[in-house]
Amino acid sequence: MPTTLQLTDGTLTVDMVTNADVKLSANYLPVFSTPAGDGTIPGEITESLPVYIYVADDDDLSDTLQDVARLGRYAAEYRAKNHQTPVWFYRQMQDESNAVRTLVQSVSFTPDARFAGLFDRAPCITEGRTGVLTITHHPYNEAVSAVAASGSNGVSVIGGTVNYTDVVGDVNARLYYLNIDNIATARVYRRVWAGFRSDRRAGGDAGNVASLWELELGAPGSSSGVTTDPTASPGGAGNTKVNCNFSGGADAGWANRLSILMSDVTANYGNQVGAFVVLLRAQVDTGAAQVKIQQYNNNAAVYREGPTVDVDATGWTLYNLGTCEFPGRDLHATPTALFAATYDQRDGFEIWARVKPGAAVPSLDMDCLILIPADEYLIQVQSAEASGAASNQGDKIYVMIAPEDTARAMNIDAVSSYFNIHCPVSVIGAGIPAGDGRLFIAIANDNAGTAPTFSDTVDVELSTYPRWVHFRGND
Amino acid sequence: MFSLHLFQRLAEGTTWEQSLTDYARYTWRRTTRATGGYWAGDFVISGCSQYRLQQLYSTMIGKRIQEWSYGDVQWEGEVVELSMTLNGITHTQSLDSELWHNRVKVEYTYPRVDDVQQGVLAYVAPGGDPGFQDTLQDFSDYEVLAGDATHEITVLNNDGSTCQGYLGEATVTLNPEDSIWVFQDLGRGMAGWNGTTVAKVPISYEVSNVLLAGTQLATAWAEQTGSSDIYGESEYIDVMADECYLAAAEATRDRRLSAYAYPRSIPTGGLSSGEAQDTGNQLAVSCAGYVFGMNRRFYETNVASLDISTQIATLVAASEFVTAGSILVNTDLQVPLTGGDISTKIWDCLEGLIGMSDSSGNRYRGGVRAGRLFDYDLATTDVLYQWRNGRLEYANGQPVLPTLIRPDIIVRLDAPLTVAPPDANDWNTSFQITISEVEFIAPRSYRLVPEEGDVLQGSY
């Protein structure tokens, strides 16, 4: 039997354990959802609790039934986004160390006539009026309180990382908030990518995931060569970039401008597993180029091609070249035990580029690729397109996930601490994978305002609500 | 796998307004075409308060929609139709050009005949010069005192013969202005009739405008700027069914403009009698890519033959919200633009140009992509995808994420033995198909529409 079983919005509570008004009339067995293996959140759960209402008179009965009805209305109003507080269903079993709560979608009470009619008072004073309390709620149970925030300071804006540890639960945790703070001097941040990679998914250690691929470590292609540039990131061979000049226009069509293999970047091939968003740090001096990636394994003739992207900013910025997935081989047909390392190290990219039709011939600089994990939990914030920054020096960017798994992002003005603007946010995945792992960050402007430099850093903080499908136990 | 966002109407700005992801999570679907780009989309909002449904119905029409997935825009368009059902009653508002237009002109036919007989007719010669009399007519409306004649008269005589002449100055025979001098030539140099009036008795006549009679004319464009400042322009050309003068055409134009300048909410369907009134509250949202918005403007200029890419760029520049993206320079084809002869909607014209192959038989594709950028390029000839086990995969065997599938791809089918044409190209080999349209169906399904053959349906 549970020691805690109640419906509450924080003010009004219907307690089915200690409350004398509504009590369980039979043993309570929780209903569990079935987690989907593809990372999506299952459908709602409906539980039917047999209860009896034990009251002294009809006024008492109406009070109790009205409380139940009110909570049902509050839950429906919250669901309809009418700015109400949520209604929670709290539960803790008798020998369980900790309680959980789940977001209520609807509540209803249906009386039955097991002991005379509902409104026959005499027998119900001793036996109680019986019925079924039906509660529909979110499929996941979460911790009653958020886990204390953790994070890191001085995280690089181009592929910087933040470790997270000990995310408990048997399903993905809800990200309560992700705070990006201490934005550098006179910078404009308008796009944020934040991808989570668990140790389990990363072949045991997400710390070995190489998110920053310095392109000078690869092999320049047609009309391309490595040059130094103090504004290029210092990783790899130093402050260097790969420049493609299209031979002044004589080599303007599509051609491979750079090849880079995984073995050029890291020896931890077994940890570079999963899908990633591929960002390119690039710039032009004039005109525009078009760029696309081709991901291949060993044989460049068999590849996965990304979308064609215009590169037209005269300052360094990040361009989304689509997604990639490692390893390039079919893991079912060619398991790791047979084809590790020597095979996967040949995974890589070709970066193809051409002069954008109709544009002046540019000199295209390519600094690095940033790989942001995309298949466990990916958050992308994009500020409004109107002029004006998503955030300026000192501002904060908050990404918050509400109990019903809706994502919100907003920019907090540093001077006034008011909400500056709300930003569109896209989320892929059901939450942060349980266990240990790493968060990967990339931040950029979008051709407006002062771009982040390679040395820019931010402070990153996150807080979570662990979740369980079944029991919480002693977690 | 995706998020859906609502922005201001482009005519008003580009500010983000709210996320629609929760509403559309399981009902969103959209299509993208190789020719056209982002094409159509729709979703249904339900399970929220009546207030929310009404608030969205009142404010969403014409607003911009973007679908984001894996950090980038995968579809963009505008809300073109809303259909709200509350308590069994449905209201609809639409940006269909037949139901909404804020920039109108009217084409009309100038009357072939300006005037006919009023009273007693006679051939006269006031002051000795040939003329014509209608005792109840006022010929001053048609007189010319200097220069070429503006009107001519054709008289039918009792014996079936006709006389024709150009009208000069009006004069009096019996009543003021009841007569007018007649000339044989337009320049009024030779007094007299074309045809003999000797022993003729006139029984009827027609006065016609020399230059305009029976010609096709058009009013000037009139615009309701209050509407176009909010929703953008929507042009409409009406055609008068009967001959009329400019004033009548302008009145028709202005009346139409007044009636259709703003989207209207129209009750559709009827009360559902005998059924519960509290079910089915919802808002159905239909979206269209900005390629359709290009058809809200007409192109009305003739341009001599130029490179097809130049003409494409000219047409794109004439649209309101779409700008040139990547337009491949194509000097292999030269085409004229004939919008001056026949007003043509911009996308309709572009579609025809994109469909033209060059002398090498190359095919092209074009359309509107993210950022309302118009692209024109060669159609693909590379086989980079395969259809295997009921899903689309990259050539390396990895499944393609449904939101990232693009049209203009060639897919190799996991097909049994087939016979290939002797001169097979990748794009016409029998075990490979070219996908001209893709549809994403939330949460993770898709349909691939080939140029020929059955639709392929898959899911991730």
Asked if the Cβ–Cβ distance from A426 to B406 is below 8 Å, we say no
Check if the beta carbon of residue A219 is closer than 8 Å to that of residue A348.
Answer: no
Q: What is the ipTM of this complex?
A: 0.86
Residues in chain A where the model's pLDDT stays below 70: 19-20, 82, 113-128, 185, 331-343, 384-394, 447-449
Q: What is the mean pLDDT of residues B151-179?
A: 92
pLDDT at res. A388: 43
CA neighbor of A94 nearest in space, from A28, A33, A139, A43: A28
Asked if the Cβ–Cβ distance from B325 to A40 is below 8 Å, we say no
| A36 CB within 8 Å of a chain B CB | no
What DSSP string describes B353-419?
A: HHT---TT---EEEEEETTTEEEEEEPP--EEEEEETTEEEETTSPBPPGGG--SSEEEEE------
Q: Check residues B340 and B453 and name the one with the higher pLDDT.
A: B340
Asked if the Cβ–Cβ distance from A81 to B16 is below 8 Å, we say no
Whether residue B273 has pLDDT greater than 90: no
**Which residues of A are less than 8 Å from B51 in CB distance?**
82
Q: What's this model's pTM, rounded to 2 decimal places?
A: 0.89
Measured CA to CA, the distance from residue A467 to residue A1 in angstroms comes to 21
Measured CA to CA, the distance from residue A163 to residue A152 in angstroms comes to 8
Q: What is the mean pLDDT of residues B55-67?
A: 96
**Which residues of A are less than 8 Å from B47 in CB distance?**
79-80
Identify from B5, B48, B378, B398 which residue to disrupt to test chain A contact, counting A C-beta atoms within 10 A and taking the largest count. B398
Asked if the Cβ–Cβ distance from A304 to B7 is below 8 Å, we say no
Q: What is the mean pLDDT of residues B348-370?
A: 92
Q: What is the mean pLDDT of residues B177-193?
A: 93
Identify from A400, A428, A440, A443 which residue to disrupt to test chain B contact, counting B C-beta atoms within 10 A and taking the largest count. A428
pLDDT at res. B427: 54
Interface of A with B in 287-326 (CB under 8 A): 290, 295-297, 302-305, 307-308, 310, 320, 322-323, 325
C-alpha to C-alpha distances, B214 to A41, B108, B148, nearest whole angstrom:
70, 9, 19
pLDDT at res. A275: 94
Asked if the Cβ–Cβ distance from A304 to B68 is below 8 Å, we say no
pLDDT at res. B104: 97
- DSSP code of B427? G
Whether residue B201 has pLDDT greater than 70: yes
Whether residue B309 has pLDDT greater than 50: yes
pLDDT at res. B100: 96
Asked if the Cβ–Cβ distance from A407 to B324 is below 8 Å, we say no
Whether residue B275 has pLDDT greater than 60: no
Measured CA to CA, the distance from residue B5 to residue B14 in angstroms comes to 12
Instruction: List the Cα angle B226/B228/B229 in 5-degree steps.
Output: 65
pLDDT at res. A148: 85
Asked if the Cβ–Cβ distance from B404 to A323 is below 8 Å, we say yes
Check if the beta carbon of residue A77 is closer than 8 Å to that of residue B49.
Answer: yes
pLDDT at res. B421: 58
pLDDT at res. A53: 82
Q: What is the mean pLDDT of chain B?
A: 91
The structure tokens listed for B389 are 């086990």
| A253 CB within 8 Å of a chain B CB | no
Asked if the Cβ–Cβ distance from B1 to A320 is below 8 Å, we say no
How would residue B235 be classed by pLDDT, with cut points 50, 70 and 90? very high
| B370 CB within 8 Å of a chain A CB | no
Asked if the Cβ–Cβ distance from B70 to A404 is below 8 Å, we say no
Q: What is the mean pLDDT of residues B225-237?
A: 96
Q: Give the model confidence (pLDDT) of B283-293 as tens digits.
A: 999 999 999 99
- Interface size, chain A vs chain B, as Cβ–Cβ contacts under 8 Å: 112
User: Judging by DSSP bridges, how do beta strands B121-124 and B302-307 pair with one another?
Assistant: unpaired
| B71 CB within 8 Å of a chain A CB | yes
pLDDT at res. A177: 94
> Of the ranges A135-149, B50-64, B212-226, B417-431, which one carries the lowest mean pLDDT score?
B417-431
CA A82 to chain B, closest CA, distance in angstroms equals 8
Strand partners, B411: B385, B433
